[in-house]
Amino acid sequence: MTLSPTAWMRLVLLAVCSVVLGCRSTGPNRMPTEQEQLDMLALMLPQRIQIQPFTKIKSFNDDDVPDGILAVVRPLDKFGDPVKAVGLFYFELWTYVNASGMQRGERLAFWEREITTAEEVRLYWTRAEMYEFQLAWTAGVEAIQPGRKFVLTATYRAPWDETFQDEYVIDFQLPPGLLTPAAPRPE
């Protein structure tokens, strides 16, 4: 049995393709390269953060007097799905500047929260798949008055030193008479 030159070419091409494709097995013993592993892992890691509309100035105890800001932040992966995140979160509260491309004015407060352990993840992560941070007032609280707007920025710095930021405008309103000025003391 003799093969024509065309048949030989097909046989050689089939053999070459078999060898080339056989070298890159996709069977159970194949391990992804380091770059492939990093690419796969990146699909599940935070790619951005979003301050949720549940963020507000709030009381953290039984009274109605605000004690700080409840910051609700959702880290999102490449697909827009919520994911847990470890690393450093920091928050800044700014005065709001009307009619400006840059809404941030003077910085009023700064807070940071580091999440590095499973216990810390459980402390801040909610069943609604987002983090809740109670940011208590610090120095400069007198500038935070009802009837004004403020800009809250949240920044997440991942362990590999990549940062993601979001900002949210908070309109601080309270029922009338809740915060009454202290009466002067008689002398």
pLDDT the model gives residue 16: 57
Question: Can you tell me the distance from the alpha carbon of 124 to that of 120, in angstroms, rounded to the nearest whole number?
Answer: 6
What is the DSSP secondary structure assignment for residue 185, as one 8-state letter?
P
What is the DSSP secondary structure assignment for residue 130, as one 8-state letter?
S
In CATH terms, the fold of domain 43-172 is Immunoglobulin-like (2.60.40)
The better pLDDT of the pair 178, 154 is held by 154
Domain residue ranges in the chain: 43-172
> Model confidence over 53-93: pLDDT tens digits?
999 999 899 888 888 999 999 999 999 999 999 999 999 99
AA letter at 67: D
Whether 11 has a pLDDT exceeding 90, the answer reads no
pLDDT the model gives residue 186: 54
Q: Cα 129 from chain centroid?
A: 11
* Average pLDDT over every residue of 103-118: 94
Whether 183 has a pLDDT exceeding 50, the answer reads no
The better pLDDT of the pair 126, 175 is held by 126
